[in-house]
């Protein structure tokens, strides 16, 4: 598992190989928004799952869906909710 401090760190996913199965990003980060991170991942052909964490996902839900976000978790949520989402998404 790798952690990134902000959206600028998205370049860690842009190598030739895609070493990650799941990227979890927040919609509101310093530097680059979650939407831009997801756009970048889809542009480079990231094959893994993408979760978006948001306090206001409803207003941009269409845009998230168009980017094939696998799961939107509305904040606040518990660790149990996150774990259930990971298990549900990776089992499919």
Domain range summary for the chain, segments of one domain joined by + = 20-91
Tokens read off for 61: 């839900």
Mean pLDDT of the 7-27 span: 68
> Model's pTM, two decimal places?
0.76
Inform me whether the pLDDT recorded for 86 exceeds 90: yes
Round the average pLDDT of the chain to a whole number and report it.
80
How is residue 7 written in tokens?
Answer: 């959206």
- Fold that domain 20-91 belongs to in CATH: Rossmann fold (3.40.50)
Q: How confident is the model at residue 32 (pLDDT cuts 50, 70, 90)?
A: confident
Residue 30 has pLDDT above 70, yes or no: yes
pLDDT at 5 over 60: no
Closest Cα partner for 1 from 30, 26, 22? 22
Question: CA 59, CA 65: separation in Å to the nearest integer?
Answer: 12
Question: Does pLDDT of 77 surpass 60?
Answer: yes
Number of H helices, E strands in the chain: 3, 3
């Amino acid at each position: 598992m790798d952690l990134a401090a902000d959206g600028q760190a998205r370049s860690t996913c842009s190598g030739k190989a895609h070493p990650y199965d799941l990227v979890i990003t927040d919609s509101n980060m310093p530097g680059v928004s979650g939407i831009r991170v997801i756009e970048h991942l889809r542009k480079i052909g990231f094959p893994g799952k993408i979760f978006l964490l948001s306090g206001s996902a409803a207003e941009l839900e269409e845009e998230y869906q168009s980017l094939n976000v696998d799961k939107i978790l509305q904040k606040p949520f518990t660790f149990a909710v996150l774990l259930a989402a990971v298990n549900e998404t990776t089992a499919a």
